[in-house]
Amino acid sequence: MAQRDTPFHAPWTDALQHRPDPNRVTELQVSPTSPAAGGRVSAATQQPSAAAAPSPELLPPTSDHPPGSEPSYYDISLLQAPVWKWQIANYFFFGGLSAGAYLLARMAAHFGGLRAHRTERAGTWIAFVTVLPCPLLLIDDLGDPKRFHHMLRVFKPSSPMNLGTFMLTGYSGMVTAALLRQLVTGRTGTPAESGGTAGAPAKAWLLVHDAAGLPLAIVVAGYTGVLLSCTANPLWCKNAWLGPMFSASAISTGAEAIQLALDCRPSEDTNGSGGMLQKIDTAAHVVEAGCLAGFTRSAGDKAAPLHHGSMRRVHRFAVGALVASEVIKHLPVAPRWRRPVRMLAAAAGLAAGFSMRWAMVHGGHEAANDPHLAREVSRAEPSIEKPFSSLQE
Amino acid sequence: MTPQLPILSSDEPSADGGGALFEVLENFPNAFPPRRTEVPQPEDAHQTMGFFTDTTLCIGCKACEVACKQWNQLPSDGVGKLSGHSYDNTEHLSATTWRHVAFKEKTGADGTDRLLMLSDVCKHCEQAPCQQACPTGSIIYNEFGNVYVQNDICNGCGYCISACPFGVLGRADHPHDDGHAHKCTLCMDRQEDGLTPACAKACPTASIQFGPLDQLRSAARGRVEQLHARGNNSAYLYGCDSVGDYGPLTSFFLLDEHPNEYNLPEAPPQPFRGQGFRYAVSTAVGLGLTLLSAFWLAKEGKA
């Protein structure tokens, strides 16, 4: 091996299989590293990719930690990695999409004219179908899935996971009821259409039903972002931009799914002039991009897993697909190309929404396993007098 | 618990057979002892019990790790797993390691080498984020003021693991493990019988001290003053009064170097601070976009 673990030589030292100690400084450099360099060690340490090997006879004297480096504990992170995997990334996507589609369908039911009937029908169907895998994904993610019902054992709204479970349960009931109503009555149930044949109690029931479903869907759309922000993970901790980003993404993916479904069965071109779905999709994308920028600025170098780490390609794809979706949607094309172009834009938007959530969940794994980021998330505020400062050089 | 045999009123066997039967019937209620056994209680039943771990006394014997593993019947983390990190082969707290001794060899410039040793444990925070995160209500504050995971309720969702800023909890994920989250219980079962927790009992140098929290804190402050008087000016208390977002930790430490040297966070965040604000902005954005869609729909309908 290139470097010696002991300052002496003996027959057994050659057989040592120890990992190099990243805290052991082998070559002391005079100029300190600026903190803006991410606190990286200026002196050469025994990293596996270290270039120069010290002379085996003499190890240079070391200080506790040279200027520019930081106190650390080998290469072990002080945090535990999250246990959430692909099931949770998928749940974030499908749950958000379902809530967004449901909200747009309800708005179409109450505020849209006759042209919005197809939106409402498709939206309610999509909201139901995409909420079906959600409980299964969540149950499969548990360490002890047969105890899934313990989630509803107590009502504890101070825990985002508990509140979200209750909201998801209530919301899925609302979606199912809305779909059943749609199937049984054969009507969309919009007040305008049902005004003639349905009495006031039915209309009142409809309003109450949807008024109850609205807050449930709004919570389901964004609570997962709040849940992530209420962890000690370096990528997510206390980041207020996650909730609004997930909410906006829920609306945009819901609109894209409805648009895709409508365009799969073309009837008269109701959205040819840029209907509500495309406009709300653009608005939601703008909000989502703004929230992503705010998230990146708020996280600072703790967002490194998304930019330089294992999720950098997925994250870049998410941003690129979001931008591409908007660009494609606004291309001036001949009328006969509008439908395929719209579908392509919607598909790109859905891919962006899914990959953004995938990158966020899996980036959290890398962030928690990174010893430097784990220390950074629990770094004292620079404006406050640094605690333990007398112990640092 | 098997019912005890009826206690006869005298040791001599009764000559009168009928009288013996009557005595048995008279003592019949004693045959079934009361369900709640009388256990010795701490002097003040509502006092918080905690740990004070004095790292300047630790000799790195790892008796605390062994005692904890043995008392709680925790499985092995892997035989022959050598990390190469000084004497620390355990490396981190986990679902199956509830006491972990950290070792750090520090080389001084003038040959003043020394060994930092810390017996790490769950901090049993007074505003524990794991307790707030738990959606099943499994994590509670028990009658000793300690944070306790009820194993028959936990379903392994893993939220507590991500919420802990000290990285204490783990999930038992190996095949044939129960898939639940586990951590130090501060030997609640031993405390209920009036015993000292296993690690504190086993520690040969009284580095780990157990008792009512206010007594521990005054003892700790006295110890720091004693060390400063001896010339060890770098000794300080971590978690006695406040650290990061937290007030007093029920299980606190006396350290000699920066917390990061021991793999402790410098200023641990309480992730649930600001939760209400984050819900508000998330709801505002969702509601705003929903109303915007309604506005555009209404405009479209009129067109």
For residue B200, give how far its alpha carbon lies from the nearest alpha carbon of chain A (Å).
Answer: 24
Q: Report the mean per-residue pLDDT for chain B.
A: 87
For residue A334, what are the contacts with CB-CB under 8 A and spacing of at least 6? none
Chain A interface mutation, best of B96, B130, B155, B264, highest count of A Cβ atoms under 10 Å? B155
Lowest mean pLDDT across A194-208, B65-79, B126-140, B266-280: A194-208
For residue A204, what are the contacts with CB-CB under 8 A and spacing of at least 6? none
Task: Tell me whether 0.85 is exceeded by the ipTM.
Answer: no
Helix ranges, chain A (H): 86-111, 117-131, 133-141, 160-185, 191-194, 200-229, 242-264, 276-299, 304-307, 312-329, 335-369, 371-377
Cβ separation of A276 and B302 shorter than 8 Å?
Answer: no
Cβ separation of B159 and A142 shorter than 8 Å?
Answer: no
Helix ranges, chain B (H): 17-26, 63-71, 129-133, 159-163, 188-192, 198-202, 213-230, 275-302
Q: Provide the pLDDT confidence category of residue B260 given band limits of 50, 70 and 90.
A: very high
pLDDT at residue number A172: 96
Q: Report the mean per-residue pLDDT for chain A.
A: 82
Q: State yes or no: pLDDT of B52 exceeds 60.
A: yes
pLDDT at residue number B40: 41
Q: Provide the pLDDT confidence category of residue B109 given band limits of 50, 70 and 90.
A: confident
A184-211 pLDDT per residue, tens = 876 545 544 444 445 566 677 778 888 8
Cβ separation of B269 and A387 shorter than 8 Å?
Answer: no
Q: Provide the pLDDT confidence category of residue B35 given band limits of 50, 70 and 90.
A: very low
Cβ separation of B294 and A63 shorter than 8 Å?
Answer: no
Question: Mean pLDDT, to the nearest integer, of B20-32?
Answer: 62
Question: Mean pLDDT, to the nearest integer, of B77-104?
Answer: 91
pLDDT at residue number A25: 55
Strand pairing partners for B94?
Answer: B97
pLDDT at residue number A19: 59
Cβ separation of B282 and A225 shorter than 8 Å?
Answer: yes
Question: Mean pLDDT, to the nearest integer, of A382-391?
Answer: 56
Question: Mean pLDDT, to the nearest integer, of A10-32?
Answer: 58
A154-187 pLDDT per residue, tens = 999 999 999 999 999 999 999 999 999 888 876 5
For residue B202, give how far its alpha carbon lies from the nearest alpha carbon of chain A (Å).
Answer: 26
For residue A264, give how far its alpha carbon lies from the nearest alpha carbon of chain B (Å).
Answer: 22
Q: State yes or no: pLDDT of A262 exceeds 60.
A: yes
Helix ranges, A265-334 (H): 276-299, 304-307, 312-329
Q: State yes or no: pLDDT of A35 exceeds 50.
A: no
Question: Mean pLDDT, to the nearest integer, of A353-373?
Answer: 96
Question: Mean pLDDT, to the nearest integer, of A365-393?
Answer: 77
> What's the rounded Cα separation, in Å, for the pair A67 and A56?
25
Question: Mean pLDDT, to the nearest integer, of A124-142?
Answer: 97
Q: State yes or no: pLDDT of B39 exceeds 90.
A: no
pLDDT at residue number A51: 37
Q: Provide the pLDDT confidence category of residue A389 given band limits of 50, 70 and 90.
A: low
* Percent of chain A clearing pLDDT 90 (strictly above): 63
Between A132 and B77, residue with greater pLDDT: A132
Q: State yes or no: pLDDT of B256 exceeds 70.
A: yes
Q: State yes or no: pLDDT of B295 exceeds 60.
A: yes
* Percent of chain A clearing pLDDT 70 (strictly above): 75
In this structure, are residues A377 and A302 in contact, taking their beta carbons and an 8 Å threshold?
Answer: yes
Q: Provide the pLDDT confidence category of residue A288 given band limits of 50, 70 and 90.
A: very high
* Percent of chain B clearing pLDDT 70 (strictly above): 84
Cβ separation of A276 and B179 shorter than 8 Å?
Answer: no
pLDDT at residue number A9: 74
A89-127 pLDDT per residue, tens = 999 999 999 999 999 999 998 888 777 888 999 999 999
Per-residue tokens: B187 = 């030997």
Which residue of chain B comes nearest to A239, CA vs CA?
A: B278
Cβ separation of A390 and B173 shorter than 8 Å?
Answer: no
Question: Mean pLDDT, to the nearest integer, of A211-225?
Answer: 96
Instruction: At B105, give phi and psi (nearest 5°).
Output: -90, 120
Q: State yes or no: pLDDT of B75 exceeds 50.
A: yes
Q: State yes or no: pLDDT of B300 exceeds 70.
A: yes
Which of left, alpha, beta for B9 (phi over 0: left; psi -120 to 50: alpha)? alpha
For residue B303, what are the contacts with CB-CB under 8 A and spacing of at least 6? none
Q: State yes or no: pLDDT of A345 exceeds 60.
A: yes
Lowest mean pLDDT across A107-116, A207-216, A300-309, A345-354: A107-116
Q: Provide the pLDDT confidence category of residue A371 given band limits of 50, 70 and 90.
A: very high
The pTM (predicted TM-score) of the whole model is: 0.82
Q: Provide the pLDDT confidence category of residue B112 given band limits of 50, 70 and 90.
A: confident
Instruction: At A299, give phi and psi (nearest 5°).
Output: -80, -30
Give the nearest partner residue to B107 out of A62, A73, A374, using CB atoms.
Answer: A62
Question: Mean pLDDT, to the nearest integer, of B133-157?
Answer: 95
Strand pairing partners for A44?
Answer: A27
Question: Mean pLDDT, to the nearest integer, of B214-229?
Answer: 94
Q: Which residues of B touch A191 (CB under 8 A)?
A: none
